[in-house]
Structure 1
C-alpha cells in the first residue's frame, strides 16, 4: 500500500543511513523505480528499508510503497536488527552491539534458551519422550549469518566488555578497528581500554598488537590464576545389563529403549540405564558454566545473586536425595 512518507516513524537509536548507499539507490530508483517496497508495522514504524526511504525523500516523493507487517514489539525490533546486522560497512563496535541487542531480544522471546538452552544443538532425550528445544541465540545467529558459533561468542564478549568510554572514542573519531582488535581491546581493564582506544584514534598505533600498556605505579600484583574447571566425576562400573545386546554408548542404549515395537515398561536394568543417560547429559550441559564465556562474568555477580544460585543448586541435590530415599524405602518390599 502507498503510505505518506511524513507518517513513517523511525525508532530512536537506529543506525543512520550510509549517504553513499542512499545516493546509489537514488540513481537506481530514478531509472527503474522502487523494486522492493519498504516494511513498516501497523503503527507505520519502519522495520526495514531505511536507505530506500531516505532515497525516496531525496527524490521528493510524498508517498512510498510499503509492506505492512503484523510484527510488533520485540519481533519487529528483531527484524530491524537482522536487516542491519547483514549490511556492509558496519564498524566492529556497531556489529558487536547489534549482536548483543539481538541476543537480548532473542532470549526475551525464547526465555527457555537462556543460561545454556540448546547451546550445543543437542537433543535432550529420555526413555519416555523426546523433544527438541529451541536453538540457543548463538546457534541461531551463527546459522543465519553462516559463521562459526565461536565467532558470535567473541562478538558478544566484545560488546559486553568494551567500556562505553572506549566505544565513544572509537565511534566519535571514526577510527577503523578490526573485529580482532576490538576483541583484544575489550579484554583490557577500563583505564587501559581508554588509553589504547585513544592511541588508535590518534594514529599512534595501527593495531592492538602494537599497544604496550604502561605499568601501574605502584605495580599491582598479578591477578590470580583462573581456577581450573571442576574435574569430571568418576564413573562407577555399570551395574546393569540390557540383555544380549551390546552398546557403544549410552545414547545407543537409550535409542533402543525408544523402539515403539518393544515393551517400554521399566525393569531395574532399563530404569538404571535411563538414569545413567540423564546424569551423563546433565554433566555435559553443566560443564558449560565453567567455560570462559560464563566465568568472565563471575566477578560481577552480587552476593544476593550468588545466594540465589546457591539456593537453586540446593533444590537439585534435595530432589536427588528425595528420590534416593524413596528408592531405598521401597527396596526389598
Structure 2
C-alpha cells in the first residue's frame, strides 16, 4: 500500500548502504528542480517515527541543498529486501556506475531475486547440471532473472547476464583493489573471473601496480600543455588515419605467436608483451562499447 505525502526533510534519512551522490547528477537535477520543481516524488518507507529513502537519493539531496522544508514522497510499506531492490534498480539505471559497481549491484539483485522467489532457487541445481551437459553453464535461470532485471533497469538480458557473472565470479577483495583505477572495466573483470580467488588478488595487485608505474613514468605537462619542463616546443603526436590503423591491425593479424617470438629479440620480449597486453585491453573496451 502506498500514499503520497509531504514530509519534512529533517525526518528523512538516506540508507546506510546508499551510493555516494554524483556531483554531475546533482548539478543537472538542481537546474531542473529549480525550473520545474520535483516532478517525480521520492520513495520512502516508515522506520519508527522517521522515514528512510527507498529511491530518489539524488532528488532528495538536491531538495535538501535548496533548503526545502518539506518534500513530496511516495510512502510505501516496503520490507528490507524490496527496499534494497528498489535502490539497486535505481543505481543500475545510472550511467556513471563503474564496471565493478555494476557487477556487484547486479549480483546482489540476483541474490535478492532468489530470496524473494525461493521456488526459482529449487530448480537452480538441476538447471546447472542440465546446462553443463549441453555445454551452456552460464544460462542457469537466466530467462526469469535476466528478463526481470532487463525490464526493471532498461538493459538487455545479455548485458544483465554479463554483469551478474562478473559479480559472482570476481571476489570482493579483487574488486576492492581495482575499484577507481583504469582497470575497473568489464574487459578486465572478464579476465579476472577466469582465475582462482588467490590468483585474482595476485593479478589485480600486479596490474594496478603496473598502471601506477606507467602513470608515474609519464612526463609532466607544463602550464602551456606541452610535455616536459623545458621550453622545447614539443607538439602532440598526430593520431594515425583510419587506413594507417587498419594496415597495422591487418599486419599483426597475419602473425602467429611463433612469428612474433622469432621477430622480437629476447631482451625486448617482456616490454613487447606489456604493449600487447595493453592493446588487448584497449581493443576489448572497443569491442564492449560496440556491442552495447
TM-score, structure 2 as length reference? 0.59
Alpha-carbon offset, residue 73 of structure 1: 2.3
Q: 2:112 aligns with which of 92, 102, 105?
A: 105
Deviations 1:146-183 (A, max 9, x none): 55544433322211222222111122x44453223212
Q: Tell me what 2:174 maps to.
A: 166
Q: Tell me what 1:50 maps to.
A: 57
Distance, in Å, in 2 between the alignment partners of 1:136 and 1:23 is 37
Q: Tell me what 2:17 maps to.
A: 13
Change (3 A) 1:57 1:75: same
Distance, in Å, in 2 between the alignment partners of 1:24 and 1:70 is 30
Alpha-carbon offset, residue 95 of structure 1: 0.5
Whether 1:138 aligns to 2:142 is no
1:179-328 → structure 2 map (5 Å cutoff): 179-198=186-205, 199-200=207-208, 202-203=210-211, 210=277
SS of the aligned residue for 2:46 comes to coil
Deviations 1:261-298 (A, max 9, x none): xxxxxxxxxxxxxxxxxxxxxxxxxxxxxxxxxxxxxx
Q: Tell me what 1:310 maps to.
A: none
Distance, in Å, in 2 between the alignment partners of 1:152 and 1:201 is 30
Equivalent pairs, count:
198
Stretches of structure 1 lacking an aligned partner (at least 5 in a row): 121-132, 212-333
SS of the aligned residue for 1:188 comes to coil
Distance, in Å, in 1 between the alignment partners of 2:275 and 2:122 is 32
Whether 1:34 aligns to 2:38 is yes
CA contact under 8 A between 2:90 and 2:153: conserved in structure 1? no
Structure index of larger Rg: 1
SS of the aligned residue for 2:192 comes to helix
Compare relative contact order (CA 8 Å, sep 6+) and give the higher one, 1 or 2.
2
Alpha-carbon offset, residue 111 of structure 1: 0.4
Q: Tell me what 2:238 maps to.
A: none
SS of the aligned residue for 1:136 comes to helix
Larger helix proportion, structure 1 or 2? Answer: 2
